[in-house]
Amino acid sequence: AKERQKKDNHNLIERRRR
């Protein structure tokens, strides 16, 4: 569950950075 949240957080950052 923690790993999934970390991936979600990274996804949000990558989407905002792109």
Angle at 12 (CA atoms; ends 11, 14), nearest 5 degrees: 65
pLDDT score recorded for residue 10: 94
pLDDT digits (tens, 9 = 90+) for 1-18: 889 999 999 999 999 887
pLDDT score recorded for residue 9: 94
Q: Give the Cα separation of 10 and 3 in Å (integer).
A: 11
pLDDT score recorded for residue 6: 95
pLDDT score recorded for residue 17: 80
pLDDT score recorded for residue 18: 75
pLDDT score recorded for residue 1: 82
